[in-house]
Amino acid sequence: MIRFLLLLLVAVSAAGCETDPGTSLAPASFDRAAMLAHWADDVIIPAFEDFTRDADDLQAAATSFEATPTAESLSEVRTAFATAYLGWQRLSPFMTGPGEDHRLREQLNIYPTNTARLKAGNTGSLELPSNTDVQGFPALDFLLYGTESPVEHRGTIAELSRRIHGLSSAALADWTTGGYRDAYVAASGNSATASVDRTVNDFIYWYEKYLRAGKVGIPAGVFSNGPRPELAEAPYHGGLSKQLFLEGLSAGRDFFNGEPGLADYLDALSVEREGQALSARIQSGFIAAADRASGLDADVATQVTTNNTELLQLYDALQANVILLKVDMLQALGINVDYVDADGD
């Protein structure tokens, strides 16, 4: 009897050992590893490649503007700036791994930029965390469109453009030659540190903080006393911010709908809510937000001052999908919320 009990206890302790969260096994109904491979090979790495190419064009244009400051070369920098800024919107949702390691989003698109320090021109090392607000696209927006003479700042413009390209190339290299891609696809398990969980958490974080709040809610004054047009994206360009928003929204929608992607995953688990597929509900949420945005002024800051109500309605449309993504979808997919590791019962 005692031996039997001891044997059982040993069996318990052996079986109770944690399984390795990174191990991947062939799942029955939905192939997560295939989804991760699709995300890595067809979404994230191409977004990095496209953006890095745009950033390369930008640095080339900025370098020739630095050498020969003419109206023509200035116009070329401005065009390359807008193209790269739009390309960035398609990359911003995917900061999992290398993007985060290189603090890409922090160093490329923190706004409002610090105009006083930019004008003074002595910012020191751009690596410093205290210098995130004097670089990236918001700083270029100011230097290219907000100053009386961009020519005077052409050295900084070129330096900042080269830095954008440098950071993006480094993160891309980590994904491809650095081996992150394989590790990413291999971690197809279920835990807060597995790739599906991390990517989805990062994606929702981006949707909530950077798309919904950063581009719409904050300038519309949802989080403050009254509207704050000066906190909109690309305020000095004056005609780009709506396009930047739409590009981000469309990147988010494409990611959700990619095949195989989150919509497929939800459908594979036949997730229905009140007679309608949850994937269809989220899909119509993306469409509703795009419809709401279509009538807006090309410049969000202008929209805030002329008719802020429409922007507030866009915020509500975006918020409806935050609830579906963050509450309903995470629950249905059993995705762990970031870094919560404690016992349950």
Partner 1 sequence: MRTETSAAPLVVFRFGFGLMMLLSIVRFWANGWIEKLYLEPDFFFSYRYFEWVKPLGSWTYLLFALVAVAAACIMVGYRYRLAMAVFFLGFTYIELMDKTTYLNHYYFISLLSLLLFWIPIPAGLAAARGCRVDKVYIQALQLFVAIVYFYAGLAKLNSDWLLHAQPLAIWLPARYDLPLLGDLLQQRWVHFAFAWGGALYDLAIPFLLLWRRTRVMAFVLVVVFHVLTRVLFPIGMFPYIMIVSALIFFGPEVHERILGWLARGRSRIAVRFPLPRPSSDWRLLPIGVLLLFHLLFPFRYLLQPGELFWTESGYRFSWRVMLMEKAGLATFRIEDADSDRRAVVDNREFLSVFQEKQMASQPDFLLEFGHFLAEEYRNRGFVRPAVYVDSYVALNGRLSQRYVDPRVDLTTVSRDAPVHQWLLPFQDTIYGF
Positions touching partner 1 (CB under 8 A) are: 1-2, 5, 8-9, 11-12, 15-16, 19, 21, 23-30, 32, 188-190, 194, 222-226, 269, 271, 273-274, 322-324, 326-328, 330-335, 337-345
- % helix, strand, coil for the chain, step of 5: 70, 0, 30
The two three-digit tokens of residue 35, written as one number:
């989804």
Select 115 or 193, whichever has its Cβ closest to partner 1: 193
The two three-digit tokens of residue 38, written as one number:
């699709």
Select 85 or 315, whichever has its Cβ closest to partner 1: 315
Query: Measured from the CB of residue 134, what is the shortest distance to partner 1 in angstroms?
Result: 24
Query: Measured from the CB of residue 191, what is the shortest distance to partner 1 in angstroms?
Result: 8
With beta carbons less than 8 A apart as the criterion, state whether 40 and 184 touch: yes
With beta carbons less than 8 A apart as the criterion, state whether 90 and 51 touch: yes
The two three-digit tokens of residue 121, written as one number:
């021109």
Q: Which amino acid is at 284?
A: S
Select 45 or 222, whichever has its Cβ closest to partner 1: 222
Query: Measured from the CB of residue 182, what is the shortest distance to partner 1 in angstroms?
Result: 18
Select 95 or 194, whichever has its Cβ closest to partner 1: 194
The Cα 170–Cα 135 span in angstroms is: 17
DSSP conformation class of 276: E
Task: Give strand pairing partners of 272.
Answer: 277
Query: Measured from the CB of residue 201, what is the shortest distance to partner 1 in angstroms?
Result: 10
Select 254 or 328, whichever has its Cβ closest to partner 1: 328
Query: Measured from the CB of residue 151, what is the shortest distance to partner 1 in angstroms?
Result: 41
